[in-house]
Amino acid sequence: MPKDSGIGASPKRREDVRFLTGDGRYTDDINVAGQAYVHFLRSDVAHARIAGIDTSQAEGMPGVVRIFTGADFEAVGGIPCGWQITDRHGEVMQEPKHPVLAHGKVRHVGDPICAVVADTLAQARDAAEAIVLDLEELPAVIDMKEAVKDGATKVHDDLTGNLCYDWGFVEENRDAVDEAIKSAAHVTTLELVNNRLIANPMEPRVAVGQWEKGTGDYTLYTTSQNPHVIRLLMGAFVLGIPEHKLRVVAPDVGGGFGTKIFHYAEEAFCTFAAKECRRPVKWTSSRSEAFMSDAHGRDHVTKIELALDAENNFTAVRTETYANMGAYLSTFAPSVPTWLHGTLMAGNYRTPLIYVNVKAVFTNTVPVDAYRGAGRPEATFQLERVIDKAARELGVDPIELRRQNFITEFPYATPVAVEYDTGDYHATMDKLIEIADVAGFEARAEESRARGKLRGFGVNSYIEACGIAPSNLVGQLGARAGLYESATVRVNATGGLVVMTGSHSHGQGHETSFPQVVADMIGIPDDMIEIVHGDTANTPMGMGTYGSRSLAVGGSAIVRATEKIIAKAKKIAAHIMEASDQDIELKDGKFTVAGTDKELAWGDVTLAAYVPHNYPLAEMEPGLEETAFYDPNNFTYPSGAYACEVEVDPETGKVTIERFAAADDFGNVVNPMIVEGQVHGGIAQGVGQALLENCAYDENGQLISASYMDYAMPRADDLPMFTVDHSCQTPCTHNPLGVKGCGEAGAIASPPTVVNAVCDALQRAGKNVTHIDMPLSPARVWAAMQGAEPTMGAAQPAAGSAGSAEGRSLHGQG
């Protein structure tokens, strides 16, 4: 029987009621009395020198409050980067300045040049059109491999070139890996593109800045996954506002998927301008604006080689990746292709030697940063694709090749610096084979053939590192922040609890799942516990929600704080019941004394804490409120196996997902309903990357996929019902809940599953297609079936295309 409350139950989400009735309070729903509106005049060219800005005519337009340019921000800092990579030669990465408004040059389409503040948004837009810009266009740097060649146009004139860093990992293994590949019985090589994506949370970004003249206090309302991080980055590094004078509020946030982690120029602008203009300033992004100002994701071009011995054991993996940073370094951009990517290259396999080389490159494109999975999807994609290709080359079953090389003993120290604490990869594969009905595939394939369709089956395994992250470790790796999480648990006199967390919920359901944890520990109903999040004024310093960390790290902080509460409450109970606190037990909301029939209700003790008449005042302070900061001592390692069946229409190349199954090991599960929902959403984004989504630039740096007219979002009829299972559970060994995190699994594991399935379908039909770059649009699949070059429209030239330009030319034939 499923539980009806506490850990393991699936209570209905309490936040749903306000969302379902229109009573949610998103940032754009917040209007501050007297607010003005800002419109950003953004660059419509990819790369140019700003020779002149004439705002004289615009200044006099109706409603204009003030027009800002880059010159207004010379006295403040730039947008900071939160991670510094040290390259394979021991040099630190090149780190360009990132001004709030462009200064000297514009470096991507969408780079803000001027900000017009006016009484209404329409007036701001009208005035922006009256600004005369003199832009001297420069060649656009788009193709990463061209960008790092000698003599290439530089995105940043004051850097030595467009290479941000050249990272090798593990550098000491380089020669041994080369040797292992040279002496291998078989080497499978694959070149591929991990396509550039736009996160597209349905709520566009919004910022409202406010300054109180009377107190000098600033408030920023913003669509953020981590308000404390914004307060620190913007306060300390950009505007010089001490944190005690700055409040950052992230109210209901309509999805994030990573792109709302980062500190953006618009946030700093609205906060800064509120004081300058003596008026609150509001910015609401349009979707079109979001396409060219939200950080993008992925965009790697990779060559991977997998070496095997004569018995098909993996002996070495070597990769070389070009990772697009875009025009500036977004908050966590440098960490994504390195520590969030290279450390996962062992996957689920006992590969003794691994070497990962990553060249991060500046281009005249929107900055690229973490997007759901961040580095781990890129690692999984290349590894699971090359394994599939190897299986086909060797004529062995792809599942068996994986099984043969699975890690089976834990803890397992990989050759890429991480230690998997626990897992059971055979168990999830076994479960997958059952729920995907692998046995029934041939019959379904026959039925597809009868309808003229090509059916294919794809499978993969994955592992990810979540629960980010041990602060001392990431500090050594270049993080400029700690990655603990915090919680304050405040018990009120009448027994109810308020849990103030540094995590932030923007769809994950924390308001429902976090109380389940506390309720279980005390033995009281969930509804006695309220979660407070998203406001730096009433939550302890926390690092926010991303990297599938909220329950593993934030939940652990809540456990630790609640443990302190329980310990103190037991002492109070012991005093009242005249017993030793060692003998006090708390169960079902009652304190009892072991071996006696004495008992005291939870509410009696909480009341005593605040009305301390009969209370050990000599030993303890009154009150019942505790804070804990939890810093994990390892990552968590969710893992699993995914399968999908596709049908390819041989006449049009159109791929449809017919069946999709996921068997995940997330360790312990607090709310199965929410976990399944997270997996569903991740699968949809993974399928979106595999089949639909493509952020494409042309050779001039114009964003071709600049709206939903050209950027294909997954819709309801693009997807089937999913079969998901999380019954294989190897609990995490190092956090108190034994949980691992589930938010990114679907987005990590799905893309290779889909591509493996399409390649399988085509090969079963006798087509010699070993790889197609994502997204597998009808045009690309059809072209691959014709034996043609991949079609145009990749952010980077398609892997394997001979020249550099035809990969993305608007006019190329494909």
Give the separation between CA 292 and CA 200, rounded to whole angstroms: 11
Among 297, 375, 502, 507, binds other proteins (CB under 8 A): 507
Least distance from other proteins to the Cβ atom of residue 347, Å: 24
Least distance from other proteins to the Cβ atom of residue 692, Å: 5
Considering the rule CB under 8 A, would residue 493 count as an interface residue with other proteins?
no
Least distance from other proteins to the Cβ atom of residue 683, Å: 6
Considering the rule CB under 8 A, would residue 546 count as an interface residue with other proteins?
no
Among 363, 501, 791, 796, binds other proteins (CB under 8 A): 791
Per-residue contact string for residues 95-134; x = within reach of other proteins by CB under 8 A: ---------------------------x--xx--x-----
Residues 6+ apart with CB under 8 A from 648: 453, 454, 455, 456, 654, 655, 758, 761, 762, 765, 781
Taking CB under 8 A as the criterion, which residues in 25-84 touch other proteins? 25-26, 28-29
Span of 20-28, 84-92, 316-324, 534-542 interacting with other proteins by CB under 8 A: 20-28
Question: Which residues in 18-147 belong to E strands, given as ranges?
Answer: 36-42, 48-54, 64-69, 105-106, 112-118, 132-137
Among 459, 469, 519, 674, binds other proteins (CB under 8 A): 674
What number of chain residues touch other proteins (CB under 8 A)?
89
Instruction: Pick the closer one to other proteins by CB: 129 or 134.
Output: 129
Instruction: Pick the closer one to other proteins by CB: 69 or 694.
Output: 694
Type and span of the H or E element at 361: strand 353-362
Span of 199-207, 340-348, 428-436, 734-742 interacting with other proteins by CB under 8 A: 199-207
Span of 338-346, 520-528, 605-613, 788-796 interacting with other proteins by CB under 8 A: 788-796
Considering the rule CB under 8 A, would residue 506 count as an interface residue with other proteins?
yes
Span of 185-193, 308-316, 505-513, 727-735 interacting with other proteins by CB under 8 A: 505-513
Give the separation between CA 803 and CA 794, rounded to whole angstroms: 13
Considering the rule CB under 8 A, would residue 785 count as an interface residue with other proteins?
no
Residues, the chain, total?
Answer: 814
Least distance from other proteins to the Cβ atom of residue 154, Å: 29
Among 777, 784, 795, 799, binds other proteins (CB under 8 A): 777
Task: Mark residue 452 as left, alpha or beta (left: phi above 0; alpha: psi -120 to 50; beta: remaining).
Answer: left
Among 23, 91, 527, 585, binds other proteins (CB under 8 A): 23
- Residue 396 has a CB neighbour count (10 Å cut-off) of 14
Type and span of the H or E element at 459: strand 454-463
Q: Which of these, 783, 754, 752, 755, lies nearest to 767 by C-alpha position? A: 783
Least distance from other proteins to the Cβ atom of residue 685, Å: 7
Instruction: Pick the closer one to other proteins by CB: 183 or 786.
Output: 786
Among 161, 352, 496, 672, binds other proteins (CB under 8 A): 672
Q: Which two tokens stand for residue 520?
A: 């279980």
Considering the rule CB under 8 A, would residue 681 count as an interface residue with other proteins?
yes
Instruction: Pick the closer one to other proteins by CB: 620 or 779.
Output: 779
- Cis peptide bond prior to 251, omega within 30° of 0: no
Considering the rule CB under 8 A, would residue 717 count as an interface residue with other proteins?
yes
Considering the rule CB under 8 A, would residue 4 count as an interface residue with other proteins?
no
Give the separation between CA 468 and CA 328, rounded to whole angstroms: 24
- DSSP class of residue 233 equals I
Type and span of the H or E element at 317: strand 314-326
Per-residue contact string for residues 592-631; x = within reach of other proteins by CB under 8 A: ----------------------------------------
Contact criterion met (CB below 8 Å) for 288 and 707: yes
Give me the residues paired with residue 170 across strands.
none
Q: With H, G, I as helix, E, B as strand and everything else as coil, classify residue 300.
A: strand
Please write down the HEC assignment for all residues of 47-69.
CEEEEEEECHHHHCCCCEEEEEE
Considering the rule CB under 8 A, would residue 704 count as an interface residue with other proteins?
yes
Taking CB under 8 A as the criterion, which residues in 246-305 touch other proteins? 252-255, 257, 286-288
Question: How wide is the angle at C-alpha 501 spanned by C-alphas 498 and 502, nearest 5°?
Answer: 160
Residues 6+ apart with CB under 8 A from 156: 94, 96, 97, 107, 362
Considering the rule CB under 8 A, would residue 782 count as an interface residue with other proteins?
yes
Considering the rule CB under 8 A, would residue 632 count as an interface residue with other proteins?
no
Least distance from other proteins to the Cβ atom of residue 744, Å: 13
Taking CB under 8 A as the criterion, which residues in 640-669 touch other proteins? 651-652, 654
Contact criterion met (CB below 8 Å) for 502 and 575: no
Q: Which two tokens stand for residue 321?
A: 């990746």
Give the separation between CA 459 and CA 118, rounded to whole angstroms: 55
Give the separation between CA 297 and CA 689, rounded to whole angstroms: 11
Span of 74-82, 202-210, 410-418, 436-444 interacting with other proteins by CB under 8 A: 202-210
Considering the rule CB under 8 A, would residue 200 count as an interface residue with other proteins?
yes
Least distance from other proteins to the Cβ atom of residue 435, Å: 15
Please write down the HEC assignment for all residues of 558-602.
HHHHHHHHHHHHHHHHHHHCCCCHHHEEEECCEEEECCCCCEEEH
Among 24, 496, 603, 616, binds other proteins (CB under 8 A): 24
Least distance from other proteins to the Cβ atom of residue 365, Å: 16
Rg of the chain taking only CA atoms, in angstroms: 27
Q: Which two tokens stand for residue 406?
A: 């699975």
Instruction: Pick the closer one to other proteins by CB: 107 or 431.
Output: 431
Type and span of the H or E element at 447: helix 441-450
Least distance from other proteins to the Cβ atom of residue 24, Å: 5
Considering the rule CB under 8 A, would residue 793 count as an interface residue with other proteins?
yes
Residues 6+ apart with CB under 8 A from 91: 165
Among 347, 554, 667, 682, binds other proteins (CB under 8 A): 682
Considering the rule CB under 8 A, would residue 812 count as an interface residue with other proteins?
yes
Among 600, 609, 749, 783, binds other proteins (CB under 8 A): 783
Considering the rule CB under 8 A, would residue 551 count as an interface residue with other proteins?
no
Taking CB under 8 A as the criterion, which residues in 721-750 touch other proteins? 721-722, 746
Considering the rule CB under 8 A, would residue 450 count as an interface residue with other proteins?
no
Cα separations in angstroms, 812 against 350, 363, 780, 791, 808: 43, 22, 13, 8, 8
CB-facing half-sphere around the CA of 152: CA atoms within 13 A: 23
- Residue 560 has a CB neighbour count (10 Å cut-off) of 19
Instruction: Pick the closer one to other proteins by CB: 452 or 523.
Output: 452
Considering the rule CB under 8 A, would residue 239 count as an interface residue with other proteins?
no
Least distance from other proteins to the Cβ atom of residue 721, Å: 6
